[in-house]
Amino acid sequence: MSSESEQPTPEVQPAQPKARHYIKPVVIGVVFVAAMATLFVVRLDRENHKAVPNVGYTLQPGQCFDRQDTDAAVPVTAKDCADAHSAEVFAVEPLSGSSYPGQSTINALGHRKCPAEVAKALAPGMNYSGVKMTFLYPVEDSWAQGDRAVKCYFQRADGLPMSGHVKDTGLPYTPEQKHYLDTVSAYDAIVAEQDPAAGWAAEKAVVARSIPVVQKEIDDLKAGPWPNEFAGTIDQLIAAKQAELADRQRAAADTDQAHFSHYLDDATHDSGSAQDRTVRATLGIGPR
């Protein structure tokens, strides 16, 4: 499955309809580590449900529906998963309160909730490289119409229709795939802790704990063995990780919040994400 969300961010800003329901793609590759979000970003679509009853507001885990590739306002209707469809809901996070909590708050909830629920929705130890994760979340207009939940759902990464339940489509990892995932899993897990950290001091503590994790990842990448076809990419990934390690060491040592944020931005830039995508694509693993 894919995870990469470059992070989150919509690629398209279509014209705004009256009542709308946002879709937030997070591409989260299903390798069962926290944000394996995705995440590569797809697009931001809006739905206008007008005055008709909207079943899209009450979709439940295990239900399937079609997401039309359009910027126009269209309703979302549940359908039989045995029939061709474009999406399957795998988790729903209810929202409480009478006042709209704000788009950024709900969006952040989706980024925390949906990646965390991926492993529960899929068979453990299986590869879902052709699947990506996204989510629907309410905006003010749809909130006023009763939309009170974030809906996490799966789609095929190529956008084509699928039939049946995603959980049943996984394939066993090959030894090479498993070796790479084992090499990077601890790093994926520690990085997933950074964004939810409450305050920069807490985030700094996570960064400090990430330093030995990045060092071990570098050591394991050097140890291999790796297929000859991407040995050069592995070397480039190691060089990027060494730069990231230095950035994280500077961030952990600095006492100024602005400097800390700057060094952490450098670490993100130097994380080797392009090389990681190349390795995953070569091995047939979905992106983070």
> pLDDT tens, 249-268?
999 999 999 999 999 999 99
- What values do phi and psi take at 130, rounded to 5? -90, 10
Which of 150, 172, 194 delimits the end of a domain? 172
pLDDT computed for residue 157 by the predictor: 86
pLDDT computed for residue 30 by the predictor: 39
Which pLDDT tens digit goes with each residue over 138-179? 888 888 888 889 999 999 988 899 999 999 999 999 999 999
- DSSP states of the chain as a string? -B--TTSS--S--PPP-SS-EEEEE-----SSSTT--------------TTS--GGGG--TT-EE---SSSS-----EE-TTS-BSEEEEEEEE--SSS---HHHHHHHHHHHHHHHHHHHS-TTEE-TTEEEEEEEE-HHHHHTT--EEEEEEEETT---B-S-GGGG-EEPPHHHHHHHHHHHHHHHHHHTTTTSSSHHHHHHHHHHHHHHHHHHHHHHHH----GGGHHHHHHHHHHHHHHHHHHHHHHH---HHHHHHHHHHHHHTS-HHHHHHHHHHHT----
The larger pLDDT score, comparing residue 100 to residue 129, is at: 100
Residue 21 pairs in a beta bridge with 138
| 86 and 121 together in one domain | yes
pLDDT at 32 over 60: no
Asked if residue 6 is part of any domain, the answer here is no
| 102 and 131 together in one domain | yes
Q: Is the omega angle on the peptide bond into residue 10 within 30 degrees of 0, that is, cis?
A: no
Q: How far apart, in Å, do the first and last CA atoms of the chain sit?
A: 8
Q: Band of the pLDDT at 81, cuts 50, 70, 90? A: very high
| 78 and 189 together in one domain | no
pLDDT computed for residue 194 by the predictor: 84
pLDDT computed for residue 28 by the predictor: 39
Asked if residue 4 is part of any domain, the answer here is no
| 209 and 249 together in one domain | yes
Is residue 45 within 8 A of residue 71, CB to CB? The reply is: yes
| 125 and 197 together in one domain | no
Asked if residue 3 is part of any domain, the answer here is no
Is residue 41 within 8 A of residue 9, CB to CB? The reply is: yes
pLDDT computed for residue 234 by the predictor: 96
Asked if residue 131 is part of any domain, the answer here is yes
Asked if residue 75 is part of any domain, the answer here is yes
The larger pLDDT score, comparing residue 178 to residue 55, is at: 178
pLDDT at 271 over 60: yes
Is residue 27 within 8 A of residue 133, CB to CB? The reply is: yes
Per mean pLDDT, which range of 6-10, 113-117, 218-222, 244-248 is the poorest?
A: 6-10
| 143 and 207 together in one domain | no
pLDDT at 279 over 90: yes
Mean pLDDT of the chain: 79
Task: Look up residue 94 and give its two tokens.
Answer: 């209810």
pLDDT computed for residue 179 by the predictor: 95
| 47 and 134 together in one domain | yes
CA dihedral 218, 219, 222, 227 (to 10 degrees): -80
Nearest partner of 19 among 46, 55, 58, judged by Cα: 46
Asked if residue 55 is part of any domain, the answer here is yes
Which of 131, 155, 172 delimits the end of a domain? 172
Residue 137 pairs in a beta bridge with 22
**How many C-beta atoms surround the C-beta of residue 107 within 10 A?**
16
| 153 and 189 together in one domain | no
How far is the CA of 221 from the CAs of 185, 188, 211, 275, in angstroms? 12, 14, 15, 12
Q: Band of the pLDDT at 10, cuts 50, 70, 90? A: very low
pLDDT at 75 over 70: no
Give me the number of domains the chain comprises. 2
The mean pLDDT value for 37-53 works out to: 27
Which pLDDT tens digit goes with each residue over 171-220? 999 999 999 999 999 999 999 888 777 788 999 999 999 999 999 999 99
| 146 and 223 together in one domain | no
pLDDT computed for residue 26 by the predictor: 42
pLDDT computed for residue 3 by the predictor: 36
Parent domain of 224: 175-283
Which of 172, 202, 221 delimits the end of a domain? 172
Per mean pLDDT, which range of 68-77, 178-187, 277-286 is the poorest?
A: 68-77
Residue 85 pairs in a beta bridge with 162
Is residue 50 within 8 A of residue 73, CB to CB? The reply is: yes
Q: Band of the pLDDT at 49, cuts 50, 70, 90? A: very low
